A = this chain, B = another copy of it.
């Protein structure tokens, strides 16, 4: 969190009155991540503009005082913002970038919170926002979603991947770092292609696996309450926002395809060892997995 002197002429009179270089942030999409950001930004003394397709959400955010002004559907008011954050499903972000590009005036940074980065970074470049766009992906979601799940401190301690366009300015990257660090995130710069491959394995595959496991249990006539603590954890993500994950699966289809294929192969190998009663192979399978999982945690 960056604290600045509210009045430099009164030394010692420090108070939370904004983030260095960021006076006004527009957050488009007040779901779990966007909504949580408005709470933290407002608490940091930043002026927050908000927009959401659900009028009740905007009303709640304004009533709670974490959104100071709502953006009209035209998004014209966005001209006031120093920073614009897109917190919408990954398949809606490209169109939105195109819509807001001509309306921006003083924005030094446009960023987002999506789980895939190649298409949004390309869309920002295509919309003429290459210099000020630094995509972001905070690893801060959970299986709950929407404004009602939003809360202060969601990003505290979370890794936040930053994916600048190829033509992003150093100033935009520094401002993105300032913003996300102020929200408690631990930033890491990574190119969009590397991000999407990595997250295909570390995030999208675990999500798809949890949902596939839910299908198997459902088809077997098992109720969720029959799960023990382990099965509960492994299937938890199946309760996640399905619109969000469908969009991610489509946007990162190539990497998810490869990751799913690799998982099918591992399951088939275990199944083969189990069927054959191959004691050593089964033991080695669990040993190797355990060695990896306990290697640096």
Q: How far is the CB of A246 from chain B (nearest CB, A)?
A: 4
| Contacts A230-B203, A260-B270, A271-B261; A213 near B209 (Cβ below 8 A) | yes
Q: How far is the CB of A295 from chain B (nearest CB, A)?
A: 6
Chain A interface: which size bin? 35 or more
Contact, CB under 8 Å: B239 / A294: yes
Of A120-128, A168-176, A278-286, the one contacting chain B is A278-286
Task: Fill in one digit per residue for A226-268: 1 if any B CB lies within 8 Å of its CB, else 0.
Answer: 1111110111111110110110011001001101111110111
Contact, CB under 8 Å: A229 / B142: yes
Contact, CB under 8 Å: B274 / A267: no
Contact, CB under 8 Å: B201 / A220: yes
| Cα-based distance from A257 to B180 in the complex (angstroms) | 46
8 Å CB contacts to B: which residues of A175-207?
198, 201-203, 205-207
User: Is the C-beta of A139 less than 8 angstroms from some C-beta in chain B?
Assistant: yes
| Contacts A201-B222, A219-B262; A292 near B238 (Cβ below 8 A) | yes
Q: Which residues of B contact A288 (CB under 8 A)?
A: 214-215, 218
Closest 3 CB pairs of A and B: A139-B228, A211-B289, A214-B289
5 A-B pairs within 8 Å (CB atoms) are namely A139-B228, A142-B230, A240-B286, A249-B286, A260-B274
Given contacts A201-B222, A206-B230, A215-B285, 10 further A-B contacts (CB under 8 A): A140-B229, A141-B228, A198-B226, A202-B222, A206-B235, A214-B292, A216-B263, A218-B289, A224-B296, A225-B296
